[in-house]
Structure formats: C-alpha cells, structure tokens
Amino acid sequence: MTLLTAFARAEAAAAGRAQRIRTVRHVHLSRRPLVVIPLQLAGEACAPLAVMLGDDPDKPRTLTVYEPRDRARRFEFAADLAEVILGHLDGYLPPDDPDVHAGTPTQGAPAQGAPAQGAPTQGAPTPGAPIQGAPALEPLPDAPQLLVPNPNAAAFLRLLGRSTRLRRTDGEHAVRPTVPLLGRWLTHYGERAEVPGSALLLAMTTALAEHWATGQSDLEDANLAALLGWVDPPDGLTGQQAARLAEDPVRCPPAGPVTDPTFDNEVLEGRMAAIRDATEAGDGPALARAQAAMDAALHSQLAPTWDLMWRAHALLAELPEAAHAQRRWKDDRRSFTAQAAWLREGGAPQPRRDSAVAAAKRLARLEREQQRLAVERAHDDSLVMAEYRLTGEAFAGTVVDADLTRLDTDGKKPKLRPWLIVQTTDAVIVEPDAVLANPAFPGQAAKVIEVADASREPGRTLVTLELSGGMGRALTAPPGSTPARGDAVTYTTLRDDFQPAPQFPSREETPWTHGGPPPEYVPTDDDAQEAWS
C-alpha cells in the first residue's frame, strides 16, 4: 500500500467505481487458460466437494463428489480431475519423441533415489528447477495457465496436490497412476504461484486488485464478486451498490473453496442425506435422482463464479501487456518444461519438506525474484514509477544540457563518460555518487555528480549525471544510445543489480549446523498409507 494507491482508493470511493493503479498488465494472460473453481466440504483438511473447470467459457465441466467424507471417493474424484487437467496439460507438451524434443538433459540428473556416482558432486535437482551441469532446457513455446478465483483456491489445489502426489499405485490403498501425477503437477503449480511475478497459477482477486483500486478495504476485495462490482459495475449501479449485492450469499454464492454455511445446512446436507439413504436402500432410480439434485445444487454455487472468472479475464486482457511480463512468463515456461522433463525421466516427487539447502536456495530465489519484479514493474509502468517519484527515489524531467563526447582521462586509458543535466519538478533525494537507471536505456548506469536548485526557477531541480555503459566500446557514442538534449527522461535508484545467485553447498555438503546431509528421499509406505481412518 502506498500513498498513491491509498489516494486512488479514496478517489474510487467518491467516484463509485474502481480506479486504475496500473497502466499496463503485469501478468501474462493466456488466451485459453484453464479456469478451475474448487469447492470443499467444511470441517476437513482437504475434502473436495466439486470442481467446475474448462478452457472454454461456453463449456464448463463439473465434477461432483457425492460422498465427500469418503476417502476412497476422494481418489476416484482425483482420477477424474486428473483426466481433465492432465488432458489440458498434454496439449502443451510435444509428442514423446526424443528427436523432436530439444535439450533433453544428459548427465547430472541422477535416477530416482540413487546418489550420483563418479559424477562431480552437485545438488540433487529440485523438480522443476534448471538442472545444474546439464545443457539448459529450451523452454516450450507455451505453457498451460491455470486461473482460480482467489488465493484460498490456489492453496486448496496445492493441498490437493500434497494429498495425492505421494500415493502408491499398488498395494492395499492403490490409486490410479494419474492421481500421483496430477498431485505432482498441482504441487508444482502451487509452489510456482509463490514466486513473485509468476503467472502459471493466477488468483483472479489478486490479479485484479493489483491493477485497480476499489473504494472498499482490501479485506473486502477478497470477494471476487464484490471486487468485480467495483471494477465493472453493472449499468445503473455504483461500485458500492454492486459490492453490497455481491455480499449476499444467497444471491451471489461465494467463489469458494469454502461454501456458504446456510447453503451447507439448508441445501447440501439434505442432498447428501438423500444420496446416502438411496444408496443404503439400494434404490437405483432414487439414487440417480438424488445425485442429479446434488449436481444441480453445486452447479448453482459454481456457475455464477464461472461467469465472473471469464469477465475478470476479459477485463485484464483489455490492458496492454507490460514489457517484462514476457520475461517472467518465459521463466514460467521454463519451469513447466523442466517439470515435464523431470517427470519423463522418472524423477522423484517433491518431498514433504525442503532440505536445509533446498530451503535456503528457494528463499534466496524468491527474494531475488521479488527484487527483479519491483524493478521491472517500475520500469514498465509509469504509474508504478510515479510512486517512486513521490518518494524521491525517481524523478522525471527534461535534458536541458548534454555533453555526449566527454571523456574521463583519469585512468590509464581514456573512457567515454557523457554528462547530462536533467531539469525536474519532482522531489529529488538522491545524493552525489548514487547510481541511477533509466528504463529506456537498460544496461546504462547514471552516476549523480551534482544536485542543485535551478537558480532562476523555484521548484525546479537540476541533476548532473555521468553515463557509463550501453554505448559500445568506442570513444564516441552511437546516436540514440544515450538521451539527447530536449529528451524527456526518467531516472531512478531502482536498479537491477544483476548480482549472481549466492553459492550454496551441495546437498552432500550440508553443514552440520543445518543437520548435515539429508537422507535421500524415497517415498515410503507411510506416505502412501497415511492413516485412513
């Protein structure tokens, strides 16, 4: 939350509709995403009740669990769900032809469970991460994007992944092989969703709230219908009126995964009891009727959210895409490709907990991504940059003077170091020696030489900058490689340092302070059984 976004909320409240806080869309949006709306049964950790999903707004598919408390049914449902989701994923994978697929990893990928023998010690690959020592995988041209209503739905899918990926396909509690496969994909998507800037699994409330400020609190924004009521109010209603209507769970069922308690108590319980009674009585026709009734009840809770999801998709799609959104999407594609390759090689499923080294690596990666995202967003979007201009970490102005041929003759060899003088009305808090960046000239650094008040014009500041980089190796800058006199420019302290990732020890070398080398992860019967009563 910043002053600018807080102000935008105030404006939205007065205007009766949401206000834009972004000029571009910072997340990649697939033209044909897989929309997934899960519902769960109250009271249990992960009891799926129904799911509505599909990649075509006119063709939703609904899967219902008639007895959600029955664990066996849960895994039958998971198998049905797997068919749909894996079917969608398959559409993005090339046919299993080793000649067609580029960059299959060769060495450095140990088989499941066996320690690398003879090969130089390297960390066991984390599923989905680039494999060290192997030629980098060429990311697939596109990857499936999953859209869910809100972060709780994403967490539910992740939990579903956790509850299914360690199941065995043989033995007493066998499940169909597609179930653990689905589990691993859901876990992969769920974990990827934690990476700042990732768009593989997108929660629509989060995506919308990132681009619009409503006239209500962020707690209320968690309700997709209310949020859309502000962003796109129906004719004749203010945002607030639309949001109030959206809060009535009878008229507007919650987007889930939690269902409305009055629905549970007054409708669902009765339908489930009817199914139970008909089953016990062995009454076929009554059972079919009871099942159809439950389908209808759950459909009534899902269909409105389905429409909201596609409306949200359309609204976001209207925004032009940010320049760096593709860079981040490429990382998403890479992650998808790597996971697909891992699965094809027969790699182990994600363990329950990260080992110490894996956890540290992951944390470092997340921090790094957060930093990159902040820089890229500001560079792509002048409204985001405006927030930094307000705090003085950025300024926008005009180049009033430029010495583009200036040389620095201090060292052994002369270096090209052009000087610019930028005049701005923004607040400037940077000090001499600070190094700034200009989004229009990536790779070019600007060191602050001097900051002075413009003598004849109050409220204007003159900043002298020394440029380096991005101009080639010659002693004259190619035209267009630097700003010129009269140009409008923006400079900011927000730079990507391009620091290399910190070095971590390999798994085998985990220091004793962190528990020493972890044992190889082998899925056990314990995981597979996981007490059924």
Partner 1 sequence: MISIVAETIEVLERRIDELRVAVRQAVLAGDRALAARQRSALTSAERAWEDALEEAAAQTEADPLARAGPVARGSVAQGKAAQSRAAEPPARSGSLLPLREQVYEALSLLQVPAAPKLIATVHEAFFGATFPTTRVTSLKRDEERSFRTAPFARPYYICAALSADYLAPSRGLLAVSTWPLELRVIGSLSPRVDFLTAAIRVAEAIERIPEPPAAARRLLQRFAASVSGAISAGGGADPAAVREAARAELTVHREADAKARRVAAERARGLQHAEQLFGTAMFRDRAGDGAADGADIAGRGAGE
Partner 2 sequence: MTARQPGAGLQTGLDRLRGRALPKNHDARTISALAANPGCARRALMDAAGVDKQRVAAHVGFAAQFGQSRFAIVRGNAFEAQVKENGAAQLLILLRDLLDLDVSEVGYADFNDVGGNSSAELRHLHTRHVLTAPDQPGRTLLDHPLLRLRVGGRHAYLEPDLIALRLDGTFHVIEVKSFAVIDGQADPGKVAAAAIQSAVYVRALRDLVTEAGGDPAAVSHKTILVAPRDFSSQPTAASLDVRRQLGVLDRQLSRIASIETLLARYPGTLTFDLDPDAQGRPRRPAAELAAAIGQVAASYAPECLATCELCFLCRDEAGGTTGALGKPVREDLGGIEYIAQARSLARGQVPAPEQAEIAAQLLRAAQLRAQVLGEAV
| Interaction site with partner 2 (CB under 8 A) | 1-11, 13-14, 20, 23, 41-46, 159, 162-163, 215-220, 259, 261-262, 264-265, 268-269, 352-353, 382-383, 386, 389-390, 427, 530-533
Smallest distance from partner 2 to CB 271, Å: 12
Distance CA 442, CA 304 (A): 45
Q: Give the footprint of partner 1 on this chain (CB under 8 A).
A: 60-64, 66, 77, 80, 83-84, 248-250, 260, 262-263, 265-267, 278-285, 287-289, 291-293, 295-296, 299-300, 303, 525-526, 533
Measured from the CB atom, the residue of 262 and 405 that comes closer to partner 1 is: 262
Greatest CA separation for the chain: 96
From the list partner 1, partner 2, none, pick the one residue 285 interacts with, judged by a Cβ distance below 5 to 8 Å according to partner type. Answer: partner 1
Distance CA 39, CA 36 (A): 10
From the list partner 1, partner 2, none, pick the one residue 238 interacts with, judged by a Cβ distance below 5 to 8 Å according to partner type. Answer: none
From the list partner 2, partner 1, none, pick the one residue 217 interacts with, judged by a Cβ distance below 5 to 8 Å according to partner type. Answer: partner 2
Neighbouring CB atoms inside 10 A of 316's CB total 21
Query: Are 84 and 186 within 8 A, CB to CB?
Result: no
Element (H, E) at 389: helix 382-391
Measured from the CB atom, the residue of 259 and 461 that comes closer to partner 2 is: 259
Smallest distance from partner 2 to CB 533, Å: 6
- What is the length of the chain? 533
From the list partner 1, partner 2, none, pick the one residue 132 interacts with, judged by a Cβ distance below 5 to 8 Å according to partner type. Answer: none
Measured from the CB atom, the residue of 46 and 79 that comes closer to partner 2 is: 46
Smallest distance from partner 1 to CB 174, Å: 15
Smallest distance from partner 2 to CB 44, Å: 6
Smallest distance from partner 2 to CB 218, Å: 6
Distance CA 382, CA 336 (A): 31
DSSP secondary structure of 434-492: -EEE-TTSTT-EEEEEEEEE-TTSTT-EEEEEEEESSS-SSSSPPTTSS--TT-EEEEE
Question: At how many degrees (to 10) do helices 151-165 and 71-90 cross?
Answer: 110
**Closest alpha carbon to 38 in 60, 53, 58:** 53
From the list partner 2, partner 1, none, pick the one residue 4 interacts with, judged by a Cβ distance below 5 to 8 Å according to partner type. Answer: partner 2
DSSP secondary structure of 322-374: PTTHHHHHHHHHHHHHHHHHHHHTTPPPPPSS--HHHHHHHHHHHHHHHHHHH
From the list partner 2, partner 1, none, pick the one residue 331 interacts with, judged by a Cβ distance below 5 to 8 Å according to partner type. Answer: none
Smallest distance from partner 2 to CB 531, Å: 4
From the list partner 2, partner 1, none, pick the one residue 530 interacts with, judged by a Cβ distance below 5 to 8 Å according to partner type. Answer: partner 2
Measured from the CB atom, the residue of 9 and 26 that comes closer to partner 2 is: 9
Measured from the CB atom, the residue of 133 and 270 that comes closer to partner 1 is: 270
Smallest distance from partner 2 to CB 163, Å: 5
Distance CA 105, CA 128 (A): 13
Element (H, E) at 421: strand 419-424
Measured from the CB atom, the residue of 195 and 268 that comes closer to partner 1 is: 268
Smallest distance from partner 2 to CB 159, Å: 7
- CA-derived radius of gyration, the chain: 28
Measured from the CB atom, the residue of 62 and 382 that comes closer to partner 1 is: 62
- Per the rule left: phi > 0, alpha: psi between -120 and 50, beta: everything else, 171 is left
Distance CA 378, CA 367 (A): 17
Smallest distance from partner 2 to CB 220, Å: 6
